[in-house]
């Protein structure tokens, strides 16, 4: 894939957010907050950082992306379609009977999906297994693991974290969506997570913290992770749930809710206005 500039990635992220809203409206169900807030990360990964070939999804030299928090799959589907893995028109079939765009990703349903996911924290073990296998085969492919902050409450997460640290799996980069929400409320009310940096460092991980909506910080962090050879890296991406849609931002009630027709129109109008502002800033 051609590597896009920071400004071009901002456009991509905005387009992905618009597709997410349209998908959720058509489906009448699904998750809004997480997909919207991870659009900047996914745009950066697929259009700058990762080595991959949409025309050859099983290319041996590809980097792997494992979406552990499968409920935010609208952002994965929208990004894969934007990259050319399948027609964008198919996005509107999300969650419908007979669709390839399941409510949670199925690795046999669509090209470009590495693992089936849904049960939180299992993706961490899958990604660690991939990274170990690649290391044993002396291959240079990178594994990118996308995790939610809420799933840090799962015990399986820490089994995988310990294993990766012990085996110095430098070829895995985890990116945590630190949006501070989960379906029942705010993470620090449901089950406090901090100090996340100290916890990961204790298990021999290199820890970076960034603004998850700052494209340059995302790129810099991912490139720094590639330069770390003695341990795995986690990037704690501080995000705003529902980013880009004012009435959703920071509200945990949008974790698992789609917009209705009126709400979708407001959201799309706001996102289109934001895209215009991005264009005017860089003319």
What's 65-122 look like in SS3? Answer: EEECCHHHHHHHHHHHHHHCCCCHHHHHHCCCCCCCCCCCCCCCCCCCCCCCCCCCCH
pLDDT band at 283 (very low <50, low <70, confident <90, very high): low
Higher pLDDT, 283 or 50: 50
Query: How far apart, in whole angstroms, are the C-alpha atoms of residue 177 and residue 234?
Result: 11
pLDDT band at 61 (very low <50, low <70, confident <90, very high): very high
Q: Are 14 and 244 in contact (CB under 8 A)?
A: yes
Percent of the chain exceeding pLDDT 70 equals 99
Question: Mind giving me the DSSP string for 235-272?
Answer: EEEE--TTTT-TTTTT-GGGSS----HHHHHHHHHHHH
Instruction: Tell me the residue length of the chain.
Output: 283
Task: Tell me the per-residue pLDDT of 153-187, one tens digit each, with 9 for 90 and over.
Answer: 999 999 999 999 999 999 999 999 999 999 899 99
| Residue from 142, 71, 84, 146 nearest 110 by CA | 84
Which pLDDT score, from 0 to 100, does residue 54 have? 96
Which pLDDT score, from 0 to 100, does residue 276 have? 85
State the total domains in the chain: 1
Q: What is the mean pLDDT of residues 214-230?
A: 97
Task: Tell me the per-residue pLDDT of 126-138, one tens digit each, with 9 for 90 and over.
Answer: 999 999 999 999 9
Query: How far apart, in whole angstroms, are the C-alpha atoms of residue 183 and residue 160?
Result: 24
* CATH code for position 179: 3.40.50.970
Q: Name the DSSP class of 204.
A: T
Q: Quick check: bond before 195 cis, omega within 30?
A: yes
State the pTM of this model: 0.95
Task: Tell me the per-residue pLDDT of 17-27, one tens digit each, with 9 for 90 and over.
Answer: 999 999 999 99
Query: How far apart, in whole angstroms, are the C-alpha atoms of residue 131 and residue 83?
Result: 24
Q: Are 225 and 231 in contact (CB under 8 A)?
A: no
pLDDT value at 1 more than 80:
no
Question: Mind giving me the DSSP string for 36-56?
Answer: HHTHHHHHHIIIII----TTS
Residue 50 lies in a domain: yes
Residue 1 lies in a domain: no
Task: Tell me the per-residue pLDDT of 247-256, one tens digit each, with 9 for 90 and over.
Answer: 999 999 999 9
Percent of the chain exceeding pLDDT 90 equals 93
Residue 118 sits in which domain range?
Answer: 6-281
């Amino acid at each position: 894939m051609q590597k896009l500039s920071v400004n071009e990635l901002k456009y991509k992220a905005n387009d992905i957010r618009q597709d997410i809203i349209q998908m959720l409206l058509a489906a009448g169900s699904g998750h809004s907050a997480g997909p919207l807030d991870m659009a900047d990360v996914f745009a950066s990964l697929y259009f700058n950082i990762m080595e991959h070939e949409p025309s050859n999804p099983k290319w041996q030299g590809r980097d792997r992306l494992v979406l552990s928090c499968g409920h935010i799959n609208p952002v994965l589907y929208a990004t894969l379609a934007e990259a050319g893995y399948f027609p964008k028109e198919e996005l509107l079939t999300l969650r419908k009977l007979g669709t390839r765009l399941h409510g949670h990703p199925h690795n046999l349903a669509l090209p470009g999906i590495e693992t089936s996911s849904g049960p939180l924290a299992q993706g961490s073990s899958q990604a660690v297994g991939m990274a170990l296998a690649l290391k044993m085969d002396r291959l240079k492919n990178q594994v990118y693991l996308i995790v939610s902050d809420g799933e840090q409450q799962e015990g399986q997460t820490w089994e995988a974290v310990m294993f990766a640290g012990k085996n110095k799996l430098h070829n895995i980069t985890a990116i945590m969506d630190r949006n501070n929400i989960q379906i029942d409320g705010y993470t620090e009310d449901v089950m406090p997570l901090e100090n996340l940096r100290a916890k990961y460092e204790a298990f021999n991980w290199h820890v970076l913290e960034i603004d998850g909506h700052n494209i340059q910080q995302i790129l810099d962090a991912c490139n720094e992770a590639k330069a770390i050879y003695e341990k795995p890296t986690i990037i704690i991406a501080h995000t705003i749930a529902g980013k880009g849609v004012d009435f959703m931002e920071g509200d945990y009630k949008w974790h698992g809710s789609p917009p209705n027709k009126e709400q979708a129109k407001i959201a799309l109008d706001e996102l289109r206005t934001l895209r215009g502002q991005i264009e005017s800033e860089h003319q």
